[in-house]
Structure 1
Amino acid sequence: MANVASSDPTVRRARIFYGWFVVAAAFAVTLVGFGSAYTFSSFVASLEKDFGASRGSVSLVFSLAGFLYFGVGVISGPLADRWGARRIAIAGMLLAALGLILAGRARTLMEVYAAYGLGIGLGLGCAFVPILGAVQRWFVKRRGFASGLAVSGIGVGTLVMPPLATTLIAGFGWREAYLVLGVLVAIVGVGAAALIDDDPRHRGLGPDGSAPETAPSSRSVEGLSVKEAARTTWFVGLYAACLAGSLGAFVPFVHLVPYAVDHKIEPTMAVLLLGAIGVGSTIGRFFLGGIADRMGRDVFLAAMYFGMAGSLAIWAVAGSFLVLIVFALAFGLFYGGWVAILPAVVADHFGARRVSGIIGVLYTSVAIGTLVGPSAAGFMFDASHNYFVPIAASAIANAVAAALIVMTARSASPIRVGVP
């Protein structure tokens, strides 16, 4: 009787579409994974003090991790296409947890580079791109909305994890704080990753909960190979835009709290600015993805870059806590919209067949920007003891990214795959 019931299409449609469980799992993985990574600004002062390090050298810890968790996608994406996202994501969460725990035991800054940089970098790199690819296969019509919900965990993590880290540091010390974060990632991250499923066909379903298509040309799995995608004008344009935009997009996650403290704002208040980025980012990921589905996801992507450029310009001249809060909320909104929509744009243009691999190659541009941007901003500050130049450069970089998307949309031949 159970077999009959499970094969009945009416019964199957009555259940909650499993794609939403995949989205929820991706949400939890990004919440604890990226939430822990974005607590780094809370640890900057402690690392500077304990290791006698400059702000630039401490900032390089985050930049190294960021370079890896975006850059490793070029390997983890194709592996997920071949072996399945669940296995790769579970391994990634275990690596991230181990990196946090070992960072808390580090005796030199080089050991922090190795533990945090490699652990968080490789761990999130193994998890992020595969789970994004998995979400794209479960949706077509609501792809932007689903992607937004999946990565909104980053926004919520940015909201709740830095204050948690600051509280742990104040109460127990930075080493114990890293231990708690590592245990949290091991429990929540690994448990959520175990719920990931790569393809709706595994459960007798089609994208968006429709009836499964058995033909090889099913829109859920058609698309270009990685090599074919990389040769297109659209891929080149996206790559250049991501590289330019990411040079500035990750600077606030390292330098906003130190900037605020330098402007005589108490550390307990300064860390709230990261929470404000999280609030804006969560709103952007939850609500803007659906808007992008209606207005056009390419146009929306350019608008997000313009928005980040404008908000970074506000930061460049901000001197009070109120203005910094305005910046943090606005930046978070546009940053969240950018992260939410980028995987959907990739799937739109190149299809879902090799989407994890394509996203992985594309995100090497973000890896380079993350490696260079925050650390360069730190060394610029060390040289001038002023943040205006690196923040202004970050704003200009995102304006360039927006212009590149507009130019690509106007000049490139359309190659949209799997868009209703």
Structure 2
Amino acid sequence: MFPQSLNPVQQVDFAFYIIFGFSIVVLICITACMVWFAWRYHHTRHPKPADFDGNITAEVLWTVIPTIIVMGMFYYGWQGFKALRSVPANALEVKVTARMWSWAFEYPNGKRSNILYVPVNQAVRLNMTSADVLHSFYVPAFRIKMDTVPGMETYAWFKAERKGEYDILCAEYCGLKHANMLSTVAVLPEKDFENWLTRQSNSGGAAKAQALMETHGCTSCHSLDGSEGLGPTLKNIYGKSRKVILPDGTLKEVVVDEPYLRRALFEPNSEVVQGHDPIMPSYTDTMSKDEVDSVVNWMMNGNQTPVEEGRRLVQEEGCISCHSTDGSEIVGPSLKNLYGSERVILKDGVEKKQIADEAYLRESIVDPLTLLTKGYDPIMPPYELEESRMTALIEYMKSLSDKSAPAPENKEQ
């Protein structure tokens, strides 16, 4: 039996015990009546059948008693249902996204995890949805079982009163790897949870810098992949020559070095890149010195995303449920030596050969059915990822391929 650590859990269990108890009593009564009737009205005692005209008392009893039993079971079942749907006002809200075949949990500060970390003795509200098909979020220890529906938000809540780890499963058949759609509820002491929630990823400075740029809104205007936005792209920005317009209207050419990057953060409108509007705010009072150093160092060092960050994301987003990293086949192609390889794809029903370069990897993640590899089923859902996370995934996939092979141009034959 799972630990009964929650008030809603106790109410649900009590409703179950009431229903189970009624069922046992009814079973015993019916069995006893059958045995008694078989003995009392045996043909040796009653060789001639008797006529019964009706019995008002019996009719009242078999109408009233079942009604009382059913209403009693309904009442206690309703009490258990209300306990699960009445979320306390101070509950910690966590966004739960289900996809084939993994769970992703996102916290109010933007931190994401594939394990549900929660503090002990605090109510937690789970706002749930699905990115692809119908799933069912099931935590037996907390008596939670709620469907996650594409395009719809459902919810459930619980409050853990003891620390520990509890299984998360999918209770709705959702495809080939349904049985592997597993995770864990990790209940931590309040202080440990706060430390985890506020701790930066230990995967390296690049991950920290990208998280800072997302937090401070930099990536809303500046892309990380080379595409133009409201502001210049940050991809490989260091060392390039830029034409900037000074406050007096003078056009000047500058080289993007460390002083320039720091000026761009503290006095962005003193040197506006030609072709862009002077709309960037100053980060003098917004970013700390350590945060500025982290962002500047990231832009100076080739914008490299650590492989460790990509490896973590592959696990977090559930990619390894279908794609191995050692060359073995699961449901989809292995990620080992995928980058740079020649693929036979089905595009608009026609077989074509294409090199798996960076553009191919990006399109395969965003819209996987357009570049379906021959021999595999069209079951991969599309992923909408922030640019930094997309870059991390691609860099990790590149690291799994032979670095001695040149990265080929994207081409079709």
Give the strand-richer structure, 1 or 2. Answer: 2
TM-score, normalised to structure 1, is 0.23
More helix by share: 1
Larger radius of gyration: 2
